[in-house]
Amino acid sequence: MNTIQLECFVAVAEHLNFSKASQALKITQPAVSHQVQTLEEELGVKLFARNSRNVTLTPEGILFLSDAELILKTAHSAKERLGKHDHFLPFDLGCHNHTELNLLPAALQKLSEEFPLLRPSMRLVPFPSLLSLVENNQILAALSIKETQKKLPLSFRELCLAPIACICSPEHPLAQYKTLTLSRLSGNFIACSPRQTSSSVFAAHSQILTKLPPEQHYLTENIESAFTLAKAQIGYTLYPDIPLAREAGLCYIPVTDLPKVPFGVYFQYHHDHPALKRFLSIMPRLLQES
- Are 139 and 187 within one domain? no
3-class state of residue 159 by DSSP:
strand
**Residue 80's pLDDT band (cuts 50, 70, 90):** low
Helices (H), the chain: 3-15, 18-25, 29-43, 59-84, 98-101, 105-114, 127-135, 199-209, 223-231, 274-289
Residue 241 near residue 164 (C-beta atoms within 8 A)? yes
- Are 138 and 274 within one domain? yes
Residue 93 near residue 123 (C-beta atoms within 8 A)? yes
Least reliable range by pLDDT among 42-51, 73-82, 211-220, 248-257:
73-82
Residue 19, domain CATH: 1.10.10.10
More confident residue, 230 or 83: 230
Q: Is the pLDDT of residue 150 over 80?
A: no
**Residue 282's pLDDT band (cuts 50, 70, 90):** very high
Residues 6+ apart with CB under 8 A from 127: 96, 144, 194, 195, 196, 197, 198
- Are 118 and 75 within one domain? no
Task: Read off the amino acid at residue 215.
Answer: E
**Residue 73's pLDDT band (cuts 50, 70, 90):** confident
Nearest Cα to Cα of residue 139 among 149, 128, 151, 129: 129
Angle, alpha carbons 20-71-65 (nearest 5°): 50
Q: Is the pLDDT of residue 154 over 60?
A: yes
- Are 210 and 92 within one domain? no
**Residue 81's pLDDT band (cuts 50, 70, 90):** low
Q: Is the pLDDT of residue 78 over 80?
A: no
- Alpha-carbon distance of 180 to 45, in angstroms, equals 51
Residue 63 near residue 43 (C-beta atoms within 8 A)? no
pLDDT tens string 188-227: 999 988 877 888 888 899 999 999 999 999 999 889 999 9
- Are 169 and 250 within one domain? yes
Least reliable range by pLDDT among 42-51, 86-95, 223-232, 274-283:
86-95
3-class state of residue 180 by DSSP:
strand
Residue 234, domain CATH: 3.40.190.10
- Are 184 and 219 within one domain? yes
Nearest Cα to Cα of residue 200 among 154, 128, 261, 265: 261
3-class state of residue 49 by DSSP:
strand
- Are 104 and 244 within one domain? no
- Are 156 and 275 within one domain? yes
**Residue 86's pLDDT band (cuts 50, 70, 90):** low
Taking the alpha carbons at both ends of the chain, their separation in whole angstroms is 47
Mean pLDDT, rounded, for 234-249: 94
Give residue 83's pLDDT: 60
Average pLDDT value over all residues in the chain: 90
Q: For residue 253, what are the domain limits?
A: 164-259
- Are 237 and 268 within one domain? no
- Structurally, how many domains does the chain consist of? 3
Tell me the residue length of the chain.
290
Q: Is the pLDDT of residue 66 over 90?
A: no
pLDDT tens string 91-149: 999 998 888 999 999 999 999 999 998 999 999 887 768 888 898 888 999 999 988 76
Q: Where a domain ends, among 55, 79, 103?
A: 79
Q: Where a domain ends, among 24, 53, 79?
A: 79
Give residue 10's pLDDT: 92
Q: Is the pLDDT of residue 242 over 60?
A: yes
- Are 250 and 170 within one domain? yes
- Alpha-carbon distance of 239 to 286, in angstroms, equals 20
Residue 138 is classified by DSSP as S
- Are 171 and 38 within one domain? no
* Cβ burial 223-253 (10 Å sphere, 16+ → b, else e): bebbbebbbeebbbbbbbbbebbbbeebbbb
Mean pLDDT, rounded, for 224-252: 95
Q: Where a domain ends, among 79, 102, 124?
A: 79
